[in-house]
Amino acid sequence: MPMTPHDAPPVAATAPNSGKAAPKQAAPIARKIAVLGSTGSIGVNTLDLVDFASARGDADISIEALTAHRNLALLVEQARKHRPEFVAIGDETLGPDLKDALAGEGIETGAGPRAIMEAASRDADWVMAAIVGAAGLEPTLRAAERGAAIALANKECLVCAGDLLTEAVRAAGGALLPVDSEHNAIFQVYDFDRPNRISRLILTASGGPFRTWPKEKMARATPAEAVAHPNWSMGAKISVDSATMMNKGLELIEAAHIFPTPHERIEILVHPQSVIHSMVEYVDGSVLAQLGAPDMRTPIASTLAWPDRIESPSAKLDFAEVSELTFEAPDPDRFPCIRLAREALARGGAYPAILNAANEVAVAAFLDQALDFAGVATVVELVLEKAERLNAPGRIASLDEALEADATARRLAREAAAERAA
């Protein structure tokens, strides 16, 4: 494991309700942070939480770097407000505009993939990895290699190069703090000192917007229908992943890298209310869960303050209003992506990277209306079959191997998507 909550503060010496004085107000948490992908859904929530915690005096936060891909207007607005040392825009052609917009502000700017890497290299002690997709892998690895605490939203990093990333965190003595709500939930109740006393991890899933749709209707679903998530407001790519339930497949692989529980003992359970964010079952039958309103500022706050806690602006749960929590097994027929992810995980090696890259291409084609909804799973399955014939490498031992598997799968997926559209 790259990190465990060992350095959590000792249990309070005074028991609750003992009649003794309440503990003193904790000192504000001090962090120097970078937000990679600051203009996305997670990035915006992160900066919102930073504002909230700073205004309350709960946190003393300085921002080292912010990055975006193309959203120049929002990046400039964030830079003016949050005064980072450095801002980077991924799209090289927007570099001069970024520089002009921030001229005289005393903020350094950069453009292109090298500038994103520079943002990850600067000495923030806490880095929010919130770039979407495998594009986030190299900067996240860079931040991990210098020992920063990585608040990991970008699950695709772990899917395509999980061993490299967890090894980099371990070697540098940093921390990997999962932001994904399910993994954050498990992280909060997982006994890292006694993993062999854990019998099961249960990843909960909302079931997405098509949970109750018949298969024929799903096959014709439009991008607008697929991104209309019932409980969470998220970026387009993860919203489509929730609709296909590939999101839960990617999360299964993510969990297998973060927690030392054999992947066969990680289960997926549909829980439409998204109140229980995941569960850990122990050998004695006890099940520990983390619950909360579906608001990413709660898991982000838990990683920002970790191992402490800070107030977040998320709504607190009103159980009388929630009134019922329901559960159902995912339907393997309508959601084949879960099976594809499980197979890729069991095969290991480059297969998870191939699954991820094929899915990224297929989702982008679907969002561009160049592929039908049912085609997303079909393209991923075809690419996995073709990769098997090409003898995909047994293990991803280097960044180059991860990038090569990713590039090969993208090429195969573009071909498969074009063939299906023809």
Q: Which residues bind Mg ion (CB under 5 A)?
A: 180-182
Pairing outcome for strands 198-205 and 276-282 = antiparallel
* DSSP label at residue 313: S
3-state secondary structure of 347: helix
Residues numbered 307-366 forming contacts with ligand NAD, rule: CB under 6 A: none
> Rule CB under 6 A: is residue 50 a binding residue for ligand NAD?
no
Could you tell which of Mg ion, ligand NAD, none binds residue 417, using a CB distance below 5 to 8 A set by kind? Answer: none
Q: Which does 132 bind (CB under 5 to 8 A by kind): ligand NAD, Mg ion, none?
A: ligand NAD
CB 159 within 8 Å of CB 340: no
> Considering only residues 63, 66, 135, 141, which one is a binding residue for ligand NAD as defined by CB under 6 A?
135
Q: Does 188 bind ligand NAD (CB under 6 A)?
A: no
Side-chain-side CA neighbours of residue 203 (13 Å): 28
- 263's enclosing H/E stretch is none
Residue 402: CB partners within 8 Å, gap ≥ 6?
Answer: 137, 160, 161, 164, 350, 353, 396
How many residues bind ligand NAD, per CB under 6 A?
Answer: 27
Q: In the complex with Mg ion, which residue's Cβ is closer, 53 or 245? A: 245
Which is nearer to ligand NAD, 88 or 383 (by Cβ)?
88
The span of 41-49, 57-65, 185-193, 413-421 binding ligand NAD (CB under 6 A) equals: 41-49
Name which of ligand NAD, Mg ion, none residue 116 binds, using a CB cut-off of 5 to 8 Å depending on partner kind. Answer: ligand NAD
The alpha helices in 57-136, defined as continuous H runs, are: 72-82, 95-101, 113-121
Report what 41 binds from ligand NAD, Mg ion, none; CB cut-off 5-8 Å by kind: ligand NAD
Q: Does 43 engage in binding with ligand NAD (CB under 6 A)? A: yes
User: Is residue 235 within the footprint of ligand NAD (CB under 6 A)?
Assistant: yes
Work out whether 232 is an interface residue with ligand NAD (CB under 6 A).
Answer: yes
Q: Which stretch binds ligand NAD (CB under 6 A): 58-66, 228-236, 273-281, 333-341?
A: 228-236
- Which residue's CB atom is positioned nearest to ligand NAD? 40
What's the min distance (Å) between Cβ of 252 and Mg ion?
A: 11
92/328 with CB nearer Mg ion: 328
Q: How far apart are CA 201 and CA 346, in angstroms?
A: 17
SS3 301: helix
Q: Phi-psi bin for 201: left (phi > 0), alpha (psi -120 to 50), beta?
A: beta
For residue 328, the 8-state DSSP code is B
Cβ–Cβ < 8 Å for 303, 287: no
CB atoms within 10 A of CB 335: 26
Q: Indicate which single residue of 47, 132, 255, 258 sits in contact with ligand NAD (rule: CB under 6 A).
A: 132
- HSE-CB of 322 using CA atoms within 13 angstroms: 19
- Which of 2, 37, 209, 336: binder of ligand NAD (CB under 6 A)? 37
122 contact, one of Mg ion, ligand NAD, none, CB 5-8 Å limit per kind:
none
- 109 versus 181: smaller Cβ distance to Mg ion: 181
Say whether residue 295 binds ligand NAD (CB under 6 A).
Answer: no
Burial classification of residue 212, based on how many CB atoms lie within 10 Å of its CB (0-12 exposed, 13-18 middle, 19 or more buried) = exposed
Of the two residues 58 and 180, which places its CB atom closer to ligand NAD in the complex? 180
Angstrom distances, CA of residue 255 to CA of 138, 213, 266: 20, 28, 8
CA-nearest of 164, 67, 174 to 111 is 67
DSSP string, 225-258: HHT--SS----HHHHHHHHHTHHHHHHHHHHHHH
Q: Which of 33, 46, 64, 90 binds ligand NAD (CB under 6 A)?
A: 90
Of the residues 46, 71, 298, 408, which one makes contact with ligand NAD according to CB under 6 A: 71
274: contact with ligand NAD by CB under 6 A: no
State which residue, 298 or 393, has the beta carbon closest to ligand NAD.
Answer: 298
Which one of 12-20, 32-40, 162-170, 193-201 is the stretch in contact with ligand NAD (CB under 6 A)? 32-40
Q: Which does 49 bind (CB under 5 to 8 A by kind): Mg ion, ligand NAD, none?
A: none
Give the Cα separation of 247 and 373 in Å (integer).
15
Q: Which residues of the shown chain bind ligand NAD in the complex (CB under 6 A)?
A: 37-43, 68-69, 71, 90, 116, 130-132, 135, 153-156, 180, 232, 234-235, 237-238, 296
